[in-house]
Amino acid sequence: MAQGRSPGSFQGVGLGLRRAHLDEVAAREDHGVPFWETCPENLIGDGGRHHRLASAILDRDPVLTHGLAISLGGFDPWDGDYLRELDRFLVRAGTPWHSEHLCFTGVDGSCLHELLPLPFTHEAARHTIARARDLQARLPVPLLLENITYYAHLGEPEMDEAAFIAEVLEGADVGWLLDVNNVYVNALNFGFDPKAWLTRMPLDRVAQIHIAGHKKFGSITVDTHGADVIDPVIELMQWTLARLGRPAPVLLERDNHIPDFGDLLAERARIQAAYDAALAPAKTEAAPAEVVRV
Amino acid sequence: MSESRTFRLQRAMASLILDDEPEDIGAPAERLGLPAGDPQAFRDQPEAMDLYRELARLSLTEPLETTFPVLKALLEGAEVWEDCAQAFLSARVVRSTHYRDIAPSFLGWLVDTGWGQDRWPFLAELAHAELLEVLVARFPEADLRQDLHDEPGPGDVVWLDPGTQVVAYAHAVHRATEAAPVPEARPTHLLAFRDEEGEARVLELTAATATLLVQARTRPLAESAAALGLSDPAPALALLRDLRRQGAVLGFRAPH
């Protein structure tokens, strides 16, 4: 069973633990990946060979947890059984925090299994803040919220995305899982400068960063997690890390067109080199920060 | 109490994703009594709304396509696969946050509604058979039991692995393929279990063996065999030893 690890012990570029790689990851402790990220919904209540492999890896290696379908901004009551299982899972995993998406995924008890955008309104912000505070009170570790890609405004907006996210993060007093690819994709789709967008945000709340690939369909760029990360997104990660001045852990997401483990390790190494370069001036001075404030 | 604007917007989005494609994409928001700017926002973003509809529907139907390839081939051959998927989505029966539960939700919906079973009475059996190996392979681990022994005795009961399933169908659905998806109508008994490597395996059983496996879970083996008219329990004991070696049977113990 994993011991609880401090937030500062998570640094560098980690990978999502994928079913296709479980045999190789379990077989080699020298994989060089500083931490894994896993989705509790995919492991809780599951069984069989893949589950056994994943559990053994998570008991051996450092892990961060990332939820997909809790519907933070939705209206359905929490699933009490799931939250009890999640509590046990997070403690067992020894994760220093748990992240969920700033979105809704279900309506009227029906789970849509898609990250759907919340209305950028004050009413939606108040509702989401109350839900986030309530969820935080039920978790054994600090809660982070992740900014999603959105392809449309849900209804007529009262504010822009940056103002909405900042209002929720500050109001709920939770940490931020900053997905720089999502910022980049949203900037492409809605025509704004991602760095100017980031300068408006409470970067002191960033505890973790996500990075991924994307693809254009028609006139819309989609966050596919199915391609290598392009240089402008890596540069945005570096710009953010330099701005933070501390080694926040970065997670390379790859959920589609999953390459061989060796190729994924090479992609991770490429991003790790960029990570190290971005932090080179700051690393000698900045102690690993206890960045989650909740 | 009136429902909030945020809630109604979420309902409008769910309707856009799950229901029949509306001629006017602002219609669901309008029906929910939202302020005029909200349905207009839907209408002003047609490509993005189409993308959401496509992405979310893909999330919900992809597990069906991968889990039920034979059923899909059958329904595609009759040009009703899309109708089936639409009826499933409209029913809003996916309640679980676990992605792996989408395919079982589909099977439950098929059984509850009887969709398509006037024309294909084996449809639910076919879906069950296609899901069976997945369910068995992923069945949650059980704690090891200390009260079981390896060698079956005539007075013992059988303790199956919790993931092991003994199933009976009216059709040979396990023999259906994408190329020949209509199964023969004949009583079929299957044993599905997880082997030592954790991989799912399926064996076809005779009716007598299937009955023995079910009955011997609560009645002593010799008594169960006698009830089936088997005067010599030795062949049954040999079979059970083999099933224990393969992983279907956890062990044997005296009945309480």
pLDDT at A8: 78
User: Among residues B56, B6, B100, B98, which one has the least CA distance to residue A69?
Assistant: B98
Answer yes or no: is B166 within a domain.
Answer: yes
Whether residues B181 and B214 fall in one domain: yes
Domain residues for the domain of B86 are 5-137
Answer yes or no: is B150 within a domain.
Answer: no
Q: What is the ipTM of this complex?
A: 0.93
Domain A7-282 carries which CATH code?
3.20.20.150
Whether residues B179 and B119 fall in one domain: no
Q: Is the pLDDT of residue A282 over 80?
A: no
Answer yes or no: is B220 within a domain.
Answer: yes
B60 in contact with chain A, both atoms CB, cutoff 8 A: yes
CATH number at residue B184: 3.90.930.50
**Which of B103, B137, B171 is at the close of a domain?**
B137
Whether residues B113 and B181 fall in one domain: no
Whether residues B130 and B37 fall in one domain: yes
Whether residues B118 and B172 fall in one domain: no
**Record: contact A108-B11, CB cut-off 8 A:** yes
Whether residues B237 and B115 fall in one domain: no
User: In one letter, which amino acid is B108?
Assistant: G
Whether residues B95 and B18 fall in one domain: yes
User: In one letter, which amino acid is B165?
Assistant: Q
The CA distance from B21 to the nearest CA of chain A, in Å, is: 16
B238 in contact with chain A, both atoms CB, cutoff 8 A: no
What tokens were used for A260?
Answer: 């061989």
Q: Is the pLDDT of residue A102 over 80?
A: yes
**Record: contact A152-B199, CB cut-off 8 A:** no
Distance of alpha carbon B89 from alpha carbon B80, whole angstroms: 14
The residue-averaged pLDDT of A6-10 equals: 84
Whether residues B123 and B172 fall in one domain: no
**Record: contact A222-B48, CB cut-off 8 A:** no
Q: What is the pLDDT of residues A203-241, one digit of tens each?
A: 999 999 999 999 988 899 998 888 899 999 999 999 999
Whether residues B17 and B123 fall in one domain: yes
Whether residues B25 and B89 fall in one domain: yes
H or E stretch covering A179: strand A175-179
End-to-end C-alpha distance for chain B, whole angstroms? 56
**Which of B68, B102, B137 is at the close of a domain?**
B137
Show the CA angle centred on residue B106, arms to residues A118 and B139, nearest 5°: 100
B35 in contact with chain A, both atoms CB, cutoff 8 A: yes
Whether residues B60 and B126 fall in one domain: yes
Per-position pLDDT tens, chain B of length 256: 469 999 999 999 999 999 999 999 999 999 999 999 999 999 999 999 999 999 999 999 999 999 999 999 999 999 999 999 999 999 999 999 999 999 999 999 999 999 999 999 999 999 999 999 999 999 998 777 888 999 998 899 999 999 999 999 999 999 999 999 999 999 999 999 999 888 899 999 999 999 999 999 999 998 998 888 887 878 888 889 999 999 999 999 998 7
Q: What is the pLDDT of residues A118-140, one digit of tens each?
A: 999 999 999 999 999 999 999 99
H or E stretch covering B200: strand B200-205
User: Among residues A66, A56, A54, which one has the least CA distance to residue A10?
Assistant: A66
A151 in contact with chain B, both atoms CB, cutoff 8 A: yes
Number of domains in chain B: 2
Asked which of A55-69, A102-116, A193-207, B222-236 is least confident by mean pLDDT, the reply is: B222-236
Answer yes or no: is B148 within a domain.
Answer: no
Q: Is the pLDDT of residue A292 over 50?
A: no
Give A 99-138 residues with CB within 8 A of chain B. 104-114, 116, 118-119, 121, 123-124, 127
Look over chain A and give the mean of its residue pLDDT values, rounded to a whole number. Answer: 93
**Record: contact B139-A222, CB cut-off 8 A:** no
**Record: contact A151-B52, CB cut-off 8 A:** yes
Q: For residue A157, which residues of chain B lie inside 8 Å, CB to CB? A: 41
End-to-end C-alpha distance for chain A, whole angstroms? 25
Query: Across chain A, how many H-helices and E-strands are there?
Result: 10, 12
Whether residues B27 and B96 fall in one domain: yes
Phi and psi for A101 in degrees, rounded to 5? -90, 145
Answer yes or no: is B143 within a domain.
Answer: no
Distance of alpha carbon A145 from alpha carbon A259, whole angstroms: 28
Distance of alpha carbon B129 from alpha carbon B123, whole angstroms: 10
**Record: contact A42-B48, CB cut-off 8 A:** no
